[in-house]
């Protein structure tokens, strides 16, 4: 039996990697993948807690997260493509259309 | 027969609608016929009503006809009702009679005009309004007519609307009249506050028992009403619109600005005699304003060169006489002068119109002269009317003016009489100056213009009016008892029981715990001998004759004399420039109002009020401006803020 | 139920228009017009069925809406609102016909107009605070869109200003409504927003009344608009399309005065009496200030907008005379202003359609070129000046008579407005219609066409009718006004500020009122 702390540490590490990636990377796709990593980190901790408390709620919720993630991927990638069509780059530093 | 009364204003109204809306379609001849026909029908109906009224016993000579309730709110009920009594009868006769004559004249005078139909539509509408004014049985219905005539006057003055001066004059007339109306309205409201009704009969019957003699209420009411009258009747200080009103076609000047509308104020004051009699201070004001205007306008009339303007100032001055009469309590004399003035002044205006017509639009008397031989009928009628206005026996003006002068001395005082008499001298002088310069002497007419006599349709009205101007005095023959028809006829309207009124006032004052002053001297009536009356008559005749002689001396005998004397005289310049009253009003009221309005708009409104509103918006915008620095638009910045925020949250919580 | 039908018919029509393809412009316009006219005719039926003898709400319809909060859908109409209601349906129909020549987004335009109609009608019939507030805010949206999309060059600025300015006032009103909600709950233990219920039972001390009065005052004074809250009006009018201006002047401003009559006076009678000098002063300033400023305007629409400030000053003054004449005069003047100013905006719109300018100096001598137009313009001008025999006079006189009973000085100052009215209107008329026809662009202007005559003639007929025989109109107000006079009469509330000590039942019905101070 793997103790809960392992799950949580792994989850925290993945989440931090995701946050850092979102903050420092410029490529929209990479940022996007980092967001996915963060979601999956949450999933891991959810399942870890589930395992620990012997319930299924977390697992169901993690399915929910996956569904959202899938939906997000489709929307997000569509946005990225739309951005790429406007400017032939996906470098986020090039986009400040939302300014004011 | 009296029940036909409601028809009298309806005929001209129909005429106005027909000529106004279908005028172009039915053609000029038909327009003239419809317009005159409608007024003629009115006139005939008026005659029938007159017969009906005469047949009634003297003390019952009042007939009220309520057509419908105009509006009612709370205890205010305003009827659309007519009141036929001796006073309104006199006015109706003058309005429809003189109106008819002038309408007929207009057919000839206006014949060349393109928008002939428009002219007649306005004229008929004017007749309708004027009849409402004199026939209304309450103050508000009178006010409908009052404003209605003002509106028609506005349109008719501005009839040649392509001329800026005509439009300006029209607007000026309306606005100046509105100043008077403002006070008139306040007067009506005050009357309602005191009496809870605005019907003439109820108000006047209740007046002695409601208002204290010389009290604040009645004084204010009558002063408000009188200010209203000064607006419409062109008295000091609101007379300035009338001379400008001469921009309108001449028949308009004759009908509206001489015979009928401008005398509405006199009618109103006479109508409210029961109120005015209770307010000695207002009576004094009326008398002095009247007398002052009489002499003031007459002096201006001496130096004018536009034939119509001379007559306009003369009108202002003559109406001053009427007010002088009303102010000293001689209402009959005032109305008498109103009637005779309507005759001779209408004749004079139409005569001047005939001259202008004959000279193809020339109005400057310096470019006339010697027209006697070209326009004999015009000359003769003009001369008769001039003699009448100057007050030469036995023409109508003599009787009416003399009665006013007599009363101003007997019931008024020396100052008022002095004003009246000097006014009479000046009147005789400037009127004969006008006659001499226009019809006598060398012709100064532009050689390209060939003066001619006017057509029959114009001269016939002149003859009729001149006849009336000559014979009008028969209405009020003095000295002989019972021969003063008008006096007798108007007796029921103007019989004011001073003693009863004073008693009622005294009782009211006692009830309120005030001290009752000694009023007994007010009831004393001095007896005047026949000799004094005859003496005054002779005196005024002498004065009129001397005025005429002076004019003869200056303008026939030594035509170069006036120029030599007047050259550079500041007094003459002042009079010629009409005492600079217009300029004074412009400088003190009109221009400051416009500049002040610009200030209000550009400074107060745009910068002050709106500035405050926009200032609030700008302040908020400034704060937002500071805040928006955070919105860099970079996704990663936002993510960073989220992380920082989250960490901050954690720190705060734990 | 019938009232609800009439109120929502325009909205239904707007829904129907949504299904008509936007290429069928004629169909869209005709449908919109047909519905608006039908609505007007139906609203006339209300007048025919109206019981003149009672001040009670009629055609009432009351169903629970949000029961947990005690909010009802409660509508009804009385003498105060009936004619405003009818005028709204009338002017909606007129505005739709006036918008025949709108070029862009005709479908959306008509939908906005019809939705606006429902919003305005709802304001006049709502008898529930929440419902009232709902309609009050609801009508802002279509008006905002109408100004913002179909307006003139500075339309965005004007629309935003209009919206924000009004919204600020309404929010204060919302606060007051919530306050009242809790006061009522406190006193009676019932959660309700029903206006009738609250009006009968609201019993609050003067100090609270004053605060609540001020909050409502802000909302309504901005809408009226009273000096110094008027500056949104000229901007909104100048930028709005013709029909927008007509509705704005004809109905939207009336919502402010109606609010005073429906809320401020009956709910806070004591505070109303306390604030009389302030409001009289603001009204009188408004009358004179509006008139003076409009005298020097260069833009026709702006001139009329400022004249509205002046006219609405009369209405406010009449309301705050608290007597029969003043209130009836104010109500009548409401209608009169709607008609004459509405017509003036139509008239200016017609000339704007032809010349694409509204600057007075561009015109002059139009009478010669456009005689029919000149006649209509002239009649409406004189109606606006308040010439007896036309509609403006009776209302103005009653207002002045009412305020005269209160104070001679107020009356004298306000009456001076009649002089200024003549100044600015006639001067404008002279410069536009009279004098020489100089500008070559004006020399080939066509006279009014049939549609334009159809727009103006009904209004002119109404002007004459109200001017010459206003009795049917005034009678409609009578019972409600008498009741309102009783409600605000200081004799009917105790010195402590308590309202409605005892209303004598017979007193209200006989139409007599105490006018002595």
Euclidean distance between CA atoms B486 and B86, whole angstroms = 9
The tokens for B114 are: 């393109």
Q: Identify the three-state secondary structure at position C74.
A: strand
Of B71, B175, B193, the CB nearest to C426: B175
DSSP state of B641: H
Question: 3-state DSSP helix/strand/coil percent for chain C, to nearest 5?
Answer: 75, 5, 20
pLDDT of residue B14: 94
C-alpha pair distances (Å), B225 with each of B171, B178, B232, B275? 23, 13, 11, 10
Euclidean distance between CA atoms B506 and B461, whole angstroms = 54
C-alpha pair distances (Å), C36 with each of C14, C104, C514? 10, 21, 41
Cβ–Cβ < 8 Å for C426, B154:
yes
Euclidean distance between CA atoms A36 and B11, whole angstroms = 94
The CA-to-CA distance between both ends of chain C, in Å, stands at: 42
Enclosing domain of residue C301: 275-469
Residue B278, φ and ψ in degrees, nearest 5: -85, -10
CA nearest A16 in B: which residue?
Answer: B643
C-alpha pair distances (Å), C240 with each of B568, C235, C424? 61, 8, 22
C290 to chain B, minimum CA–CA distance in Å? Answer: 9
Cβ–Cβ < 8 Å for C390, C358:
no
B128 to chain C, minimum CA–CA distance in Å? Answer: 12
Chains that touch C (3 or more CB pairs under 8 A): B
pLDDT of residue C494: 54
Residue C373 covered by a domain? yes
DSSP state of B455: P
Chains C and A touch (3+ CB pairs under 8 A): no
Euclidean distance between CA atoms B580 and C58, whole angstroms = 64
Tell me the residue length of chain C: 517
Of B632, B639, B640, the CB nearest to A96: B632
Q: Which residues pair with B65 in a beta bridge?
A: B82
Q: Which DSSP string do the residues of A29-47 spell out, in sequence order?
A: HHHHHHHHHHHHHHHHHHH
Burial label, C464 (beta-carbon count in 10 A; 0-12, 13-18, 19+): middle
Tally helices (H) and strands (E) across chain C: 23, 2
Q: Which of residues 12-31 of A touch B (CB under 8 A)?
A: 19, 22-24, 26, 31
| Closest-CA residue to A90 (of A78, A74, A75) | A78
The tokens for A39 are: 């979601």
C-alpha pair distances (Å), B306 with each of B247, B298, B348? 11, 14, 14
Whether the bond between B255 and the residue before it is cis, its omega within 30 degrees of 0, is no
Given a cut of 70, the residues of chain C with pLDDT beneath it are 494-517
Residue C113, φ and ψ in degrees, nearest 5: -60, -45
| Closest-CA residue to B635 (of C296, A25, C287) | A25
The tokens for B489 are: 């006829």
Q: Which DSSP string do the residues of C245-269 spell out, in sequence order?
A: HHHIIIIIHHHHHHHIIIIIHHH-H
Residues 6+ positions from C57 with CB-CB distance below 8 Å: C76, C77, C78, C127, C196
Mean pLDDT value across residues B515-524: 76
Mean pLDDT value across residues B553-562: 81
Residue C363 covered by a domain? yes
CATH assignment, A26-90: 1.10.287.3510
Q: Which of B633, B641, B647 to mutate to test the interface with A (most CBs of A within 10 A)?
A: B633
Angle at C413 between CA C229 and CA B218, to 5 degrees: 155
Mean pLDDT value across residues B43-60: 90
B283-325 residue pLDDT tens: 999 999 999 999 999 999 888 889 999 999 999 999 999 999 9
Of B144, B167, B598, the CB nearest to C430: B167
DSSP state of C498: -
Indicate the Cα dihedral angle C213, C214, C215, C220, nearest 10°. 90
Cβ–Cβ < 8 Å for B251, B102:
yes
Residues 6+ positions from C133 with CB-CB distance below 8 Å: C170, C173, C174, C177
Contacts of C292 in chain B (CB under 8 A): 593, 596-597, 600
Euclidean distance between CA atoms C324 and B76, whole angstroms = 10
For the entire predicted model, the pTM comes to 0.88
The tokens for C443 are: 């020399």
**Buried/exposed C79-89: b ≥16 CB within 10 Å, e otherwise:** bbbbbbbbbbb
Residue C280 covered by a domain? yes
| Closest-CA residue to B239 (of B187, B186, B290) | B290
CB contact under 8 A, B633 and A22: no
A83 to chain B, minimum CA–CA distance in Å? Answer: 13
Residue C73, φ and ψ in degrees, nearest 5: -90, 95
| Closest-CA residue to B452 (of B362, B345, B555) | B362
CB contact under 8 A, B73 and C230: no
Q: What percent of chain B has pLDDT over 70?
A: 99
Question: Domains of chain A: which residue ranges?
Answer: 26-90
pLDDT of residue A98: 67
Residues 6+ positions from C501 with CB-CB distance below 8 Å: C492, C493, C494
CB contact under 8 A, B147 and C231: no
pLDDT of residue A100: 56
The tokens for C517 are: 């101070």
Euclidean distance between CA atoms B397 and B471, whole angstroms = 10
CA nearest B636 in A: which residue?
Answer: A23
How many Å is the Cα radius of gyration of chain B?
Answer: 30
Euclidean distance between CA atoms B258 and B311, whole angstroms = 9
B340-385 residue pLDDT tens: 999 999 999 999 999 988 888 888 888 888 888 888 899 999 999 9
Euclidean distance between CA atoms C389 and C397, whole angstroms = 12
CB contact under 8 A, A22 and B639: yes
B91 to chain C, minimum CA–CA distance in Å? Answer: 21
Contacts of C367 in chain B (CB under 8 A): 161
Chains B and C touch (3+ CB pairs under 8 A): yes
C95 to chain B, minimum CA–CA distance in Å? Answer: 27
CA B333, chain centre distance (Å): 18
pLDDT of residue C515: 41
C487-513 residue pLDDT tens: 888 877 755 444 444 443 444 334 344
Residue B329, φ and ψ in degrees, nearest 5: 90, 0
Tally helices (H) and strands (E) across chain B: 28, 2
pLDDT-wise least confident of B79-83, B562-566, C366-370, C387-391: B562-566
Euclidean distance between CA atoms C226 and C283, whole angstroms = 7
B124-170 residue pLDDT tens: 999 999 999 999 999 999 999 999 999 999 999 989 888 889 999 99
Indicate the Cα dihedral angle B80, B85, B90, B96, nearest 10°. 40
Euclidean distance between CA atoms B361 and C436, whole angstroms = 20
CB contact under 8 A, C323 and B74: yes
Binned average pLDDT, 10 residues per bin, chain A of 100 residues: 89 93 88 91 92 89 92 91 85 74
CB contact under 8 A, C328 and B73: yes
Angle at A89 between CA A86 and CA A93, to 5 degrees: 100
Instruction: Please name the residue that has the structure tokens 């940022």.
Output: A31
CB contact under 8 A, B598 and C397: no
pLDDT of residue C498: 45
Contacts of B644 in chain A (CB under 8 A): none
Euclidean distance between CA atoms C102 and C113, whole angstroms = 12
ipTM: 0.90
Of B163, B597, B613, the CB nearest to C292: B597
Residue B332, φ and ψ in degrees, nearest 5: -60, -45
Residue C477 covered by a domain? no
pLDDT of residue B648: 93
Residue C61, φ and ψ in degrees, nearest 5: -145, 120
B105-135 residue pLDDT tens: 999 888 888 888 889 999 999 999 999 999 9
Q: How many CB atoms lie within 10 A of CB C206?
A: 17
Cβ–Cβ < 8 Å for C359, C365:
no
CB contact under 8 A, B71 and C323: no
Angle at C68 between CA C63 and CA C69, to 5 degrees: 85
CB contact under 8 A, B643 and A19: yes
Contacts of C443 in chain B (CB under 8 A): none
Q: How many CA atoms lie within 13 A of B514 on its CB side?
A: 12
B623 to chain A, minimum CA–CA distance in Å? Answer: 14
């Amino acid at each position: 039996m793997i103790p809960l702390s392992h799950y949580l540490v792994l989850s925290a590490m993945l989440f931090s990697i995701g946050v850092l990636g979102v903050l420092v990377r410029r490529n929209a796709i990479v940022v996007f993948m980092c967001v996915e990593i963060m979601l999956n980190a949450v999933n891991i901790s959810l399942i870890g807690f589930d395992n620990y408390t012997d319930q299924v709620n977390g697992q169901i919720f993690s399915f929910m997260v996956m569904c959202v993630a899938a939906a997000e991927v489709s929307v997000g990638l569509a946005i990225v493509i739309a951005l790429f069509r406007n400017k032939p780059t996906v470098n986020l530093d090039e986009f400040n259309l939302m300014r004011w | 027969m009296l029940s036909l009364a409601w028809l009298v204003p309806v005929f001209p109204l129909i005429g106005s609608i027909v000529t106004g809306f279908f005028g172009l379609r039915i053609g000029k001849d038909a327009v003239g016929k419809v317009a005159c026909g409608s007024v003629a029908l009115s006139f005939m109906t008026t005659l029938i009503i007159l017969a009906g009224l005469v047949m009634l016993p003297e003390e019952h000579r009042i007939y009220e006809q309520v057509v419908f309730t105009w509006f009612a709110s709370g205890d205010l009920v305003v009827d659309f009702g007519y009141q036929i009594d001796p006073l309104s009868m006199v006015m109706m006769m003058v309005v429809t009679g003189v109106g008819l004559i002038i309408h007929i004249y207009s057919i000839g005078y206006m014949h060349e005009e393109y928008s002939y139909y428009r002219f007649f539509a306005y004229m008929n509408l004017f007749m309708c309004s004027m009849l409402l004014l004199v026939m209304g049985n309450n103050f508000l219905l009178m006010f409908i007519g009052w404003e209605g005539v003002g509106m028609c006057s506005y349109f008719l003055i501005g009839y040649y609307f392509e001329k800026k001066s005509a439009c300006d004059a029209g607007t000026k007339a309306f606005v100046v009249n509105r100043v008077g109306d403002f006070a008139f309205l306040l007067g009506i409201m005050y009357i309602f506050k005191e009496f809870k009704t605005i019907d003439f009969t109820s108000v006047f019957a209740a007046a002695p028992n409601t208002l204290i003699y010389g009290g604040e209420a009645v004084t204010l009411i009558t002063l408000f009403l009188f200010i209203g009258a000064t607006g419409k009747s062109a008295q000091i200080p609101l007379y300035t619109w009338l001379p400008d009103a001469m921009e309108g076609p001449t028949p308009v000047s004759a009908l509206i600005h001489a015979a009928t509308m401008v005398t509405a104020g006199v009618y109103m004051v006479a109508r409210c005699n029961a109120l005015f009699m209770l307010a000695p201070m207002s009576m004094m004001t009326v008398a002095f304003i009247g007398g002052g205007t009489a002499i003031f306008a007459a002096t201006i009339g001496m130096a004018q060169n536009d034939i119509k303007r001379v007559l306009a100032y003369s009108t202002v001055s003559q109406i001053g006489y009427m007010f002088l009469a009303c102010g000293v309590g001689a209402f009959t004399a005032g109305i008498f002068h109103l009637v005779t003035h309507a005759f001779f002044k209408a004749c004079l205006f139409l005569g001047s119109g005939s001259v202008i017509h004959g000279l193809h639009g020339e109005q400057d008397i310096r470019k006339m002269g010697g027209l006697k031989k070209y326009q004999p009928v015009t000359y003769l009628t003009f001369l008769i009317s001039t003699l009448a206005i100057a007050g030469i026996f036995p023409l109508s003006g003599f009787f009416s003016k003399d009665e006013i002068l007599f009363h101003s001395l007997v019931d008024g005082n020396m100052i008022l009489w002095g004003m009246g008499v000097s006014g009479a001298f000046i009147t005789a002088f400037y009127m004969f100056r006008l006659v001499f310069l226009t019809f006598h002497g060398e012709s100064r007419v532009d050689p390209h213009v060939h003066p001619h006599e006017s057509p029959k349709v114009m001269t016939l009205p002149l003859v009729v009016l001149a006849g009336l101007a000559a014979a009008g005095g028969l209405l009020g023959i003095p000295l002989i008892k019972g021969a003063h028809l008008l006096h007798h006829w108007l007796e029921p309207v103007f019989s004011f029981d001073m003693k009863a009124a004073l008693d009622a006032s005294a009782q009211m004052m006692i009830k309120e715990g005030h001290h009752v002053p000694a009023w007994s001297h007010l009831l004393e009536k001095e007896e005047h001998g026949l000799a004094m009356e005859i003496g005054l008559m002779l005196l005024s005749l002498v004065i009129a004759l001397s005025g005429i002689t002076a004019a003869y001396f200056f303008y026939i005998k030594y035509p170069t004399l006036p120029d030599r004397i007047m050259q550079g005289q500041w007094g003459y310049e002042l009079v010629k420039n009409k005492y600079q009253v217009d300029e004074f009003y412009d400088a003190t009221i009109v221009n400051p109002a416009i500049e002040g309005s610009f200030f209000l708009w550009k400074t107060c409104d745009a910068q002050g009020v709106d500035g405050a509103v926009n200032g609030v918006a700008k302040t908020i915008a400034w704060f937002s401006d500071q805040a928006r620095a955070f919105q860099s638009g970079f996704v990663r910045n936002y993510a960073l803020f989220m992380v920082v925020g989250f960490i901050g949250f954690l720190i705060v919580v734990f | 139920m019938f009232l609800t039908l009439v109120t929502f018919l325009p909205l239904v029509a707007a829904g129907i228009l949504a299904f008509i393809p936007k290429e069928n412009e004629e169909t869209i316009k005709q449908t919109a017009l047909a519905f608006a006219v039908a609505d007007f005719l139906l609203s006339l039926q209300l007048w025919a069925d109206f019981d003149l003898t009672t001040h009670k709400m009629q055609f009432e319809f009351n169903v629970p809406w949000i029961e947990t909060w005690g909010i009802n859908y409660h509508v009804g109409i009385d003498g105060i609102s009936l004619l405003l209601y009818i005028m709204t349906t009338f002017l909606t129909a007129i505005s739709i016909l006036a918008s025949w020549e709108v070029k862009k987004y005709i479908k959306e335009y008509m939908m906005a107009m019809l939705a606006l109609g429902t919003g305005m009608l709802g304001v006049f019939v709502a008898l529930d605070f929440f419902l009232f507030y709902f309609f009050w805010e609801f009508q802002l949206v279509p008006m905002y869109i109408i100004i913002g999309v179909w307006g003139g060059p500075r339309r965005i600025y004007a629309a935003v200003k209009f919206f924000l300015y009004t919204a600020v006032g309404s929010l204060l009103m919302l606060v007051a409504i919530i306050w009242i909600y809790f006061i009522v709950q406190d006193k009676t233990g019932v959660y309700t927003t029903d206006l009738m219920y609250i009006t009968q039972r609201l019993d609050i001390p003067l100090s609270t009344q004053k605060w609540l009065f001020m909050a409502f005052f802000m909302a309504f004074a901005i809408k009226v608009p009273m000096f110094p809250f008027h500056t949104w009006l000229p901007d909104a009018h100048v930028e709005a399309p013709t029909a927008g201006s007509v509705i704005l002047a004809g109905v939207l401003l009336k919502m402010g005065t109606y609010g005073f009559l429906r809320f401020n006076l009956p709910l806070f009678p004591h505070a109303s009496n306390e604030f009389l000098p302030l409001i009289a002063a603001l009204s009188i300033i408004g009358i004179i200030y509006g008139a003076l400023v409009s005298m020097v305007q260069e833009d026709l629409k702006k001139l009329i907008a400022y004249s509205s400030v002046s006219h609405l000053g009369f209405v406010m003054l009449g309301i705050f005379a608290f007597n029969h004449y003043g209130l009836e005069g104010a109500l009548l003047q409401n209608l009169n202003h709607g008609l004459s100013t509405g017509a003036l905006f139509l008239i200016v719109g017609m000339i704007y359609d032809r010349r694409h300018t509204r600057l007075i100096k561009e015109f002059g001598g139009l009478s010669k070129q456009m005689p029919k137009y000149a006649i209509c313009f002239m009649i409406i001008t004189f109606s606006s000046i308040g010439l007896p025999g036309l509609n403006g006079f009776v209302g103005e006189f009653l207002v002045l008579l009412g305020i005269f009973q209160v104070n001679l000085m107020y009356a004298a100052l306000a009456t001076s407005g009649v002089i200024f009215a003549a100044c600015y209107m006639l001067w404008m008329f002279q410069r536009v219609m009279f004098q020489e026809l100089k500008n070559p662009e004006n020399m080939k202007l066509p006279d009014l066409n049939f549609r334009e005559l159809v727009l103006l003639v009904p209004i002119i007929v109404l002007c004459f009718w109200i001017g010459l025989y206003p009795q049917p109109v005034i009678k409609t107000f009578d019972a409600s006004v008498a009741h309102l006079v009783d409600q605000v009469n200081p004799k009917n509330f105790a010195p402590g500020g308590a309202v409605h000590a005892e209303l004598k039942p017979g007193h209200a019905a006989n139409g007599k009122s105490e006018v002595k101070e």
